[in-house]
């Protein structure tokens, strides 16, 4: 028989940060496009079909959005290893061309939900995007998302550079 102490929770890995604060991912990027174009790239299904996914994405399979507080979205893509990946969530905050907050969960791990915040700020020659995703169940998951989102930002930059 095992003895459990109050507060013991072995169902989720604990963060290895000194403060035990939630693991987060922060990225910033300047795009040479207006805030309106960057916003549309994140919210218009036709635009998402052209760029969404990490580096090595072979094609985007699905992009559906209902961009309003409480509205849902889903995206799907195939990576270069032939694997299909799907994610979905619900919009929590919608401030056109300024701020978009939504939940994020992979179809195969729906209980591991995180929150993504996008903040757009007009900048010299374009738009600054501040990206925040939190929490993550462990450091490896956070690091995997960093690789994925960094590649996605590169794909977004290419899309915005080529879009009319």
Kindly report, residue by residue over 4-32, the tens digit of the pLDDT. Answer: 323 333 333 444 444 578 899 999 999 99
Domain that holds residue 46: 25-162
160-to-12, 21, 23, 33, 54 alpha-carbon distances in Å: 39, 35, 30, 7, 16
Kindly state whether residue 124 falls inside one of the protein's structural domains: yes
Into how many domains does the chain fold?
Answer: 1
Kindly state whether residue 114 falls inside one of the protein's structural domains: yes
User: Domain with 92 in it: what CATH number?
Assistant: 3.30.530.20
pLDDT tens sequence across 63-100: 999 999 999 999 999 999 999 999 999 999 999 999 99
DSSP secondary-structure letter at 53? S
Spell 122-131 as b/e; 16+ CB within 10 A means b: eeeebbbbeb
């Amino acid at each position: 028989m095992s003895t459990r102490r109050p507060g013991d929770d072995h169902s989720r890995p604990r963060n290895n940060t000194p403060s035990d604060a939630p693991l987060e991912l922060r990225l910033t990027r300047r795009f040479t496009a207006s805030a309106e174009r960057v916003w549309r790239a994140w919210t218009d299904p036709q635009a998402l079909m052209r760029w969404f996914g990490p580096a090595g994405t072979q094609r985007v399979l699905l992009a559906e959005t209902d961009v309003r507080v409480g509205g849902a979205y889903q995206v799907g893509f195939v990576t270069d290893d032939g694997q299909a990946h799907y994610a979905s969530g619900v919009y929590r905050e919608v401030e056109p061309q300024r701020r978009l907050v939504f939940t994020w969960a992979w179809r195969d791990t729906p209980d591991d939900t995180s929150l993504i915040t996008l903040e757009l700020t007009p900048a010299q020659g374009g738009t600054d995007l501040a990206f925040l995703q939190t929490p993550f169940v462990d450091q490896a998951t956070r690091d995997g998302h960093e690789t994925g989102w960094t590649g996605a930002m590169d794909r977004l930059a290419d899309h915005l550079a080529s879009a009319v």
